[in-house]
Amino acid sequence: MGAYLGHIAALATSVAWSFTSVFFTLSGRQVGSAVVNRTRLLLALVFVTLMHRMTQGQFFPLDAEPFRWGWLALSGLIGFVVGDAFLFQAFVMIGPRLTMLLMALTPVFSTALGWVLLREALTPLELAGVVLAVGGVALVVSGDSNGNDDPEEEDSRGEVLHIRHYTLGVLFGLGAAIGQAGGLFASRMGLVGDFPALSGNLIRLIAATIAIWVMAFLRRQAGVNFEKLRAHPRAFLTIVGGALLGPFVGVWLSLIAVQKAPLGIASTLMSLSPIVLLPVGRVLFNERIGLRAVGGTVMAVAGSALLFL
């Protein structure tokens, strides 16, 4: 059990992030993604601070070494601020399907970073597991409900996306995948020596929350943020649920994963959210599950099983 703690934490992260995406999708449709992003970080910071006081005996990890604050703050800025900004922009420009397909490359970037910078060489069996899992996720998210696989999709107005617009969207999607991999690497560097993952999560949230709210005040968007929440109380409740499962529980588990398992393996197992979302989407949104999704799920499960062997 102890030898696979990182693997299990990574799988649990996928489950938590799957339900988080449902909560944030529902709330984002009412108040917008920017409001959701800022509010979830603020709520998560409160949750994690209180939990840190209960478990560690202090509100903030003031005794953490400066290098940990540096690496973990960098991780928070890369992951929560820059990476998520790229992710949301990619959703807007090329849609969720292609964005998820590009995000499936995160384990590839993570494996490369782990190999080059951390000297984490995976065995042939582990590499086969990564390839199968990433391929399965890519297969699941590569087709839409209409069976349209042409990259020149039509937007809601029926106009074909301009090639420059499409290219920028792809670059934003790649930036999001690279940002997530870079954030995981920075977290790994800050968590060396069995530093508590909860404390690491708190440092990441402090840096990201300060940065994103300073930008909101400078852009005079802070007041608008709270006005939208007051106008949509149900959206606020779903953001609370998403903040609990995402930046609080999910990120806490993800830091345990990158601390206890090789970076490439942890990133691969954490990227299985599209697989977990298949039955959720079927039950909650009545989405069709086709043969491609079934085949991709089988591949992803087989790849994940190889990573445990």
State the pLDDT confidence band at 152, using cuts at 50, 70 and 90: very low
State the pLDDT confidence band at 154, using cuts at 50, 70 and 90: very low
Domain that residue 160 falls in: 2-308
Q: Of 114-118, 155-159, 287-291, where does the model show the most confidence?
A: 114-118
Q: What is the pLDDT of residues 197-212, one digit of tens each?
A: 899 999 999 999 999 9
Mean pLDDT over 33-62 rounds to 90
Mean pLDDT over 167-195 rounds to 88
Mean pLDDT over 166-189 rounds to 88
Mean pLDDT over 24-35 rounds to 80
Report whether pLDDT(150) > 60.
no
Report whether pLDDT(297) > 70.
yes
Rounded CA-CA distance 139/184 in Å is 24
State the pLDDT confidence band at 125, using cuts at 50, 70 and 90: confident
Q: How high is the pLDDT of residue 66?
A: 93
| CB of 132 closer than 8 Å to CB of 126 | no
| CB of 109 closer than 8 Å to CB of 177 | yes
Report whether pLDDT(151) > 90.
no
Report whether pLDDT(276) > 90.
no
| CB of 225 closer than 8 Å to CB of 216 | yes
One DSSP character per residue, 83-119 reads IHHHHHHHHHHHHHHHHHHHHTTHHHHHHHHHHHHS-
Q: What is the pLDDT of residues 213-262, one digit of tens each?
A: 999 999 888 888 999 988 888 889 988 988 888 888 888 898 888 888 88
Mean pLDDT over 75-87 rounds to 87
One DSSP character per residue, 144-176 reads -TT----SS-B-TTSPBPPHHHHHHHHHHHHHH
Residue 1: Cβ within 10 Å count: 5
State the pLDDT confidence band at 156, using cuts at 50, 70 and 90: very low
pTM of this structure: 0.77
Higher pLDDT, 307 or 236: 236
Total of domains in the chain: 1
Tell me the three-class secondary structure of 271-290, residue by residue.
CCHHHHHHHHHHHHHCCCCC
Mean pLDDT over 124-144 rounds to 76
Higher pLDDT, 292 or 41: 41
Higher pLDDT, 103 or 149: 103
